[in-house]
Amino acid sequence: MNSILKLAQKKEKETELSAKPKPPDSWLEISDSVSQRCIFDSYGHLSINVLKDTRPVYQRLVESFLNKFFPSGYPYSVNEGYLTYTQFRALQHFSSAALSVLSTQSLLFAAGLRPTPAQATAVSWILKDGMQHAGKLICSSMGARMDSEPKSWRILADVLYDLGTGLEVISPLCPQLFLQVAGLGNFAKGMAVVAARATRLPIYSSFAKEGNLSDLFAKGEAISTLFNVLGLGAGIQLASTIASSMQGKLIVGPLLSVVHIYAVVQEMRATPVNSLNPQRTAMIISDFIQNGKISSPADLRYRENLIFPNRLIPQSGSVRVGKPLHESLNPKTLPQLTQIFSDEKFLVSKKGSNRYLVLESSATGEDALRGWLVAAFCDEVERGSDEDKMEVLVEARERMRRVFPSFVSGVKGRGWHVDQFLDGNGTRFKY
């Protein structure tokens, strides 16, 4: 009986012990300059207490700035070029915000008012936001083109913005045309805002390395906000001093605009966009044909033509893509072409001195790479033989099929997204 009682008491004690919360797990993390205690409480929450921190004040400030304005894990969590992009993005927003104060003050002068710089700052937000609706209507049909060439459209957006701002700055020179000048200026700025916002996501996506797109976006917007505020402060100071007169604005305004456009061009050049469009595909094929090398997005970023992105590259076959079918091939050759490329989602043809690539409606980036390789190999075959056009296409297609498995594997390995081909509003076929 006593043994049974002792056994029951033992089980009761074990039950009481198991019911109590587990003691917290803790450990010390010690580095050269920081010691901290990390504790998991009984509910699994982690708390960190700094026990010792011998870092200089400036180092603490720098690390605090990086934590607030750069993605977690920087620089290992982003692709190459992010720091350069961020530096010029800050300069771009600073100069743009300062310029906006001068333009708004000029608008109110032209309307017969005499605002203080602080009033101009407040009104600038109202005017800018009010024009976004008109810009959306105009730019709504251009979204596919912005996906294809986000960097070029981002630069165009800032050029439009500065054009609109410039019209606002000079509006006091023609007060009788105030409504027309101010309306045109705000219209241009409204289009610019929409184009800038539409291209923001593909640009941020090119830097995301570890599924951290939201973190990149949040930190990028934090930097934009910070330097917009600093730029507004600088604009208020300029509007109160050297740019308080029209002569001063005509000197300071163009200088700020030059800095602004320079910053956004450098910002875009540093961006390694990893989606396939006509220009980047042609450059990949050109490097592969010439030296067997597969270039990465970082390799091509400074070589992209951001002003004339539709230029032809002879080394990749001088291919035109996205043209209507009647411009791309002779209707008489269509049965032969569809037979040669019966198991492909593209057609390659030569009409006059130009070579054309026509994609099927569901073609992906891989299909575009296959077609572009065929077009490039056609040039090589033509230079070395007297075969007719159809025989050239057949031989070029066979060459493509031999090299494509290793080629596309290398393209993917270099960081390119081949699941889609962004040809803007280019024409595709379906049969």
| The pLDDT of residue 386 is above 90 | no
Give 13: exposed, middle or buried? Use CB within 10 Å, 0-12, 13-18, 19+. exposed
- For position 303, what pLDDT does the model report? 93
Spatial CB neighbours of 394, under 8 Å, sequence gap ≥ 6:
340
- For position 125, what pLDDT does the model report? 44
> Is there a contact between 104 and 232 (Cβ–Cβ < 8 Å)?
no
Higher pLDDT, 1 or 62: 62
Strand-strand pairing, 417-421 and 275-276: parallel
| The pLDDT of residue 7 is above 70 | no
Q: How confident is the model at residue 19 (pLDDT cuts 50, 70, 90)?
A: very low
Higher pLDDT, 428 or 291: 291
122-163 confidence digits (pLDDT tens): 554 454 445 545 666 676 667 778 888 999 999 999 999 999
Extract long-range pairs of 346-354: CB within 8 Å, 24+ residues apart.
346/370, 346/371, 346/374, 347/371, 347/429, 348/374, 348/375, 348/378, 348/393, 348/396, 350/378, 350/389, 351/327, 354/318, 354/320
Over residues 277-303, mean pLDDT: 93
- For position 4, what pLDDT does the model report? 47
Lowest mean pLDDT among 32-36, 111-115, 154-158, 315-319: 111-115
- For position 197, what pLDDT does the model report? 84
Calpha distance 154→265 (Å, rounded): 9
> Is there a contact between 278 and 322 (Cβ–Cβ < 8 Å)?
yes
Range with top average pLDDT, 20-29, 69-78, 139-148, 233-242: 233-242
Spatial CB neighbours of 124, under 8 Å, sequence gap ≥ 6:
100, 101, 103, 104
Q: How confident is the model at residue 382 (pLDDT cuts 50, 70, 90)?
A: confident
> Is there a contact between 429 and 360 (Cβ–Cβ < 8 Å)?
yes
Range with top average pLDDT, 115-129, 221-235, 382-396: 221-235
| The pLDDT of residue 257 is above 70 | yes
DSSP per-residue codes, 296-329: -HHHHTTTS-SS-TT---GGGT-EEES--HHHHS
- For position 261, what pLDDT does the model report? 94
Tokens 């990893």, residue located: 274
Task: Read off the amino acid at residue 98.
Answer: A
Range with top average pLDDT, 49-53, 248-252, 277-281, 390-394: 277-281
24-64 confidence digits (pLDDT tens): 566 665 655 666 666 766 665 656 666 666 667 777 777 77
Spatial CB neighbours of 222, under 8 Å, sequence gap ≥ 6:
68, 69
> Is there a contact between 37 and 26 (Cβ–Cβ < 8 Å)?
yes
| The pLDDT of residue 72 is above 60 | yes
Compute the mean pLDDT over every residue in the chain, rounded to the nearest whole number: 80
Over residues 352-356, mean pLDDT: 82
Calpha distance 90→85 (Å, rounded): 9
| The pLDDT of residue 293 is above 90 | yes
Lowest mean pLDDT among 157-161, 311-315, 351-355, 387-391: 387-391
Lowest mean pLDDT among 113-117, 240-244, 347-351: 113-117
Over residues 345-352, mean pLDDT: 87
Tokens 């910053």, residue located: 263
Over residues 81-101, mean pLDDT: 83
Q: Taking the model in full, what pTM does it have? A: 0.75
